[in-house]
A and B are shown apart, each in its own frame.
Chain A
């Protein structure tokens, strides 16, 4: 198998649907809020009542233009909407308003973070277009129900060229795209809530061949990991078929996350002639150069820019910058710890180790798992000021994660503050030296190593809370005399 895997090259293209962060739906005034009661966010327009007409949401247009600019696409000054016809109970009009031949954005690319020593990879885009979402069918033992809350919610469909060559690269592309969508406030891009969805087109071909193989489409992928697993599975499946002299069928597969395999849908489920034609109820969409300039001017900082800034301004390593920038919440959190700190690198390390660990171990989102960033900043400021030790800070952080109390209170309650009072420490030093005449003699005789012993004894006498720097200084002074 290993040898046959090497003989072939995977050719992968992704179609990503991202829900745009608008307050209202694409063609009516209904709310897009997630989690409303079923059919709570509907009106005659998004229910497809007779006689209703769509009115385009300008905010959705701006967001898809923003996506296009972030992805280096060309923005069409003039594009049209089309009707895509198919019957499904969750599709109220019997057609979806989408864009076919003239998308808002054409071309562009997503840059993948460079791997060590390599040039950054660019995955080219075919297009980004605007379309409306459908509702949701809910099947129950006694019948099926339809919830139209999602019907008419604005989506950007982002279609890549078949530039992706491995499951790993598909994952990197999705993470990079996800970061752009979130940094630019285009979409909250939550795979688990369905605000980002992904269909995969996979084919394989003998390495070196220019000709594309027959592709299959994989649907029902609602996490990055599933995308990677499904691609791995599908690539192996296709190679096995070709190696045994078989033929790949152009068909649509569903990912089964339980069995971790793809299975073909019934042909009826996808054999559609969508009969696209221009939507007569909407005039052509004109995007003036002014709008493009305004969107550019208001563009939030994108992940690549933030990564560069961290390396340049905070002297972080490319690796550290990548880890922090990967999730916008983490990067924003990191920056919120910074006011009042001199040592940015220490804050970066803290976020990368301590904060990411609690997220990982608790399995909860950052905002729930970790204390407020400002409190972590306050904690790190105490370390910087010598008020607490680094170990004490870790103890305090663990407690804060559970209690939600602020840094100062926690340090005080746990008695973690370091004693920097020179008189108290001097007194302890004197006592230790007096109590250990033998060691003092040996030290003075040249056994320098015993310095550590004295520090340890003083720390012990101070209950572990003395500032080690002060102990060092005072002991040195006393031993020198």
Chain B
């Protein structure tokens, strides 16, 4: 069966690489073999870059051999959601409209990882333009859940979550606009963090909803997520919305204890209709926190019921403009046409999938003359109220702990016919994006069918250190031990 090196965590691999006990080439080879083995079943990748990955691994090995002052990610094989522009490597956003698009530049976070010597295994599957909660809206077919091939991996970053869960890579990058890191992390039983809006550069990350999109890592442990976030975060002169705050050493924040910490438990996040196993697992985790010295505080986020409606106005409005550039003129898919209007109409009609078109139309409508005030502007006001809910909650609590999704991974096709039901998968994650807060999904058990359950730890702006510390403390307490996926 070959080596088991693909099962390593990032921090384990980093130590072994530094001690020269394994080579990046060996780990990369193991990951590529694993990809070859499971991809026919999972479909987590859109593009695998075998030759480039091995070249990068060899380069990393030379760098590792040349000295001990090597960056954290040197030689670590990772996967990138196919929303990141990668110089010279096809970047599709899981859309037919970008099927042939090869960017001439790297996204800032890709450039940062490249500079540290990370190895890029390939580009992972996702919902087209990150619009979806199951990775079923992909022009390249759905990604399957490594714990149950009949179920979804979650979305939109389903490919990245599944690839980490199935040990096809050591870690991966996703993006989170309304839950697109946390929900698939929860469904696939891995750690996924969405940092504070502006903590990580968005340059070169194909935009869905600019005021909500945020970059973040998937990893097998909280420690790995901390390590990766340290590489990704920080100011970028190419992104005017990116924060200039110094980046703390996130790994050092993992003190392993939460004594005296106030954990807010929002009543609006434990609702009728949620899966009982999910509620039980999160409640168990909360008791576990109490047992290691944290204090639980009942809180209320009263505007939570409006979050989904607010999100589907703000996000789609921004998306309707962000996706206007896919017009068939400069790059991407172009349909045969006799005149310019036909060129637009046909290229976009044939290039975009149904969900993308639905959201473009929704957003266009929300911004149209006569509707702007009633929809877009009203949604912005609701967004302010949601942000204030959290500000009030954080007056009495240090972090909030809640379920990531009301259920575990659902069956393929179960919700595709009914967009509204699908939108409700994000009911617990969306308000965090509207408020711009950091939140992490951490595995906290399995349901009766063996499917992973995730809880999310939400903090005030720029409290990533606390969020990571709280997740790490739970992980160390041993209750949420990861069961390997059976794929």
Task: Report yes or no: A51 in contact with B240, Cβ–Cβ below 8 A.
Answer: no
Q: Which residues of A are at the interface with B, using a C-beta cutoff of 8 A? A: 44, 47-56, 83, 85, 87, 89, 92-95, 144, 146, 273, 275-277, 280-283
Q: Which 5 pairs show the lowest CB-CB distances between chains A and B?
A: A94-B324, A280-B210, A275-B367, A280-B211, A50-B206
Q: Which residues of A contact B204 (CB under 8 A)?
A: 51-52
Residue in B closest to A274 when the chains form the complex, CB atoms: B369
Q: Which residues of A contact B101 (CB under 8 A)?
A: 50
Task: Report yes or no: B321 in contact with A89, Cβ–Cβ below 8 A.
Answer: no
Task: Report yes or no: B330 in contact with A51, Cβ–Cβ below 8 A.
Answer: no
Q: Which of B226-265 contact A (CB under 8 A)?
A: 237-241
Q: Which of B26-34, B103-111, B454-462 forms part of the interface with chain A?
A: B103-111
Q: Which of B310-364 contact A (CB under 8 A)?
A: 317-318, 320-321, 323-327, 329-331, 340, 344, 364
The distance in angstroms between the C-alpha atoms of A310 and B238, with both chains bound, is 48
Q: Is B91 engaged at the interface, CB distance under 8 Å to the other chain? A: yes
Partner of B241, one of A44, A48, A276, A281: A281
Q: Which residues of B contact A276 (CB under 8 A)?
A: 367
Partner of A49, one of B318, B329, B331: B331
Q: Which residues of B contact A47 (CB under 8 A)?
A: 330
Q: List 15 A-B contacts (CB under 8 A).
A: A44-B105, A50-B98, A51-B84, A53-B203, A55-B239, A87-B344, A92-B325, A93-B325, A94-B321, A94-B324, A275-B368, A277-B376, A280-B210, A281-B210, A281-B240
Question: Which of A50, A51, A277 has the most chain B CB within a 10 Å cutoff?
Answer: A50
Q: Is B207 engaged at the interface, CB distance under 8 Å to the other chain? A: yes
Interface string of B171-212 (1 = CB under 8 A from A): 000000000000000000000000000000011111101110
Q: Is B85 engaged at the interface, CB distance under 8 Å to the other chain? A: yes
Asked, given contacts A85-B321, A273-B368, A277-B317, whether A50 binds B376 with beta carbons under 8 Å apart, the answer is: no
Which secondary structure dominates where chain A touches chain B?
loop
A343 → chain B, closest Cβ, in Å?
Answer: 56
Residue in B closest to A56 when the chains form the complex, CB atoms: B240
Asked, given contacts A51-B205, A273-B369, A275-B364, whether A93 binds B324 with beta carbons under 8 Å apart, the answer is: yes
Q: Which residues of B are at the interface with A, using a C-beta cutoff of 8 A? A: 83-85, 91, 93, 98, 101, 103-105, 107, 202-207, 209-211, 237-241, 317-318, 320-321, 323-327, 329-331, 340, 344, 364, 367-369, 372, 376
Q: Which residues of B contact A52 (CB under 8 A)?
A: 203-204
Asked, given contacts A52-B203, A53-B240, A281-B210, whether A92 binds B320 with beta carbons under 8 Å apart, the answer is: no
Task: Report yes or no: A146 in contact with B329, Cβ–Cβ below 8 A.
Answer: yes
Q: 17 other contacts beyond A55-B238, A277-B321, with CB at 8 A cut-off?
A: A44-B103, A49-B85, A49-B325, A50-B85, A51-B84, A51-B107, A51-B203, A52-B203, A93-B324, A94-B323, A94-B327, A144-B340, A275-B364, A277-B367, A280-B209, A280-B210, A283-B241
Residue in A closest to B348 when the chains form the complex, CB atoms: A87
A73 → chain B, closest Cβ, in Å?
Answer: 25
The distance in angstroms between the C-alpha atoms of A297 and B444, with both chains bound, is 63
The distance in angstroms between the C-alpha atoms of A92 and B83, with both chains bound, is 19
Task: Report yes or no: A55 in contact with B321, Cβ–Cβ below 8 A.
Answer: no
Q: Which residues of B contact A146 (CB under 8 A)?
A: 329-330
A347 → chain B, closest Cβ, in Å?
Answer: 51
The distance in angstroms between the C-alpha atoms of A461 and B9, with both chains bound, is 109
A94 → chain B, closest Cβ, in Å?
Answer: 2
Q: Which residues of B contact A95 (CB under 8 A)?
A: 321, 324
Question: Which of B203, B205, B209 has the most chain A CB within a 10 Å cutoff?
Answer: B203
Residue in A closest to B95 when the chains form the complex, CB atoms: A50
Asked, given contacts A52-B204, A280-B210, whether A89 binds B367 with beta carbons under 8 Å apart, the answer is: no
The distance in angstroms between the C-alpha atoms of A165 and B340, with both chains bound, is 40
Task: Report yes or no: A277 in contact with B372, Cβ–Cβ below 8 A.
Answer: yes
Question: Which of B107, B205, B209, B321 has the most chain A CB within a 10 Å cutoff?
Answer: B321
A41 → chain B, closest Cβ, in Å?
Answer: 15
B445 → chain A, closest Cβ, in Å?
Answer: 37
Q: Which residues of A contact B331 (CB under 8 A)?
A: 49
B213 → chain A, closest Cβ, in Å?
Answer: 9
Partner of B207, one of A51, A89, A282: A51
Partner of A283, one of B85, B240, B325: B240
Task: Report yes or no: A48 in contact with B330, Cβ–Cβ below 8 A.
Answer: yes
Q: Which residues of B contact A283 (CB under 8 A)?
A: 240-241
The distance in angstroms between the C-alpha atoms of A50 and B128, with both chains bound, is 14
Partner of A55, one of B84, B206, B240, B376: B240
Task: Report yes or no: B327 in contact with A89, Cβ–Cβ below 8 A.
Answer: yes
Q: Which residues of B contact A281 (CB under 8 A)?
A: 207, 210, 240-241
Residue in A closest to B103 when the chains form the complex, CB atoms: A49
The distance in angstroms between the C-alpha atoms of A275 and B364, with both chains bound, is 8
Task: Report yes or no: B324 in contact with A87, Cβ–Cβ below 8 A.
Answer: yes
The distance in angstroms between the C-alpha atoms of A281 and B93, with both chains bound, is 20
B312 → chain A, closest Cβ, in Å?
Answer: 15
The distance in angstroms between the C-alpha atoms of A277 and B375, with both chains bound, is 12
A141 → chain B, closest Cβ, in Å?
Answer: 15
Residue in B closest to A93 when the chains form the complex, CB atoms: B325
Task: Report yes or no: A44 in contact with B368, Cβ–Cβ below 8 A.
Answer: no
B214 → chain A, closest Cβ, in Å?
Answer: 13
The distance in angstroms between the C-alpha atoms of A276 and B367, with both chains bound, is 7
The distance in angstroms between the C-alpha atoms of A52 and B93, with both chains bound, is 14
The distance in angstroms between the C-alpha atoms of A224 and B327, with both chains bound, is 36
Q: Which residues of B contact A50 (CB under 8 A)?
A: 85, 91, 93, 98, 101, 103, 206-207, 325-326
Partner of A282, one of B103, B203, B240: B240
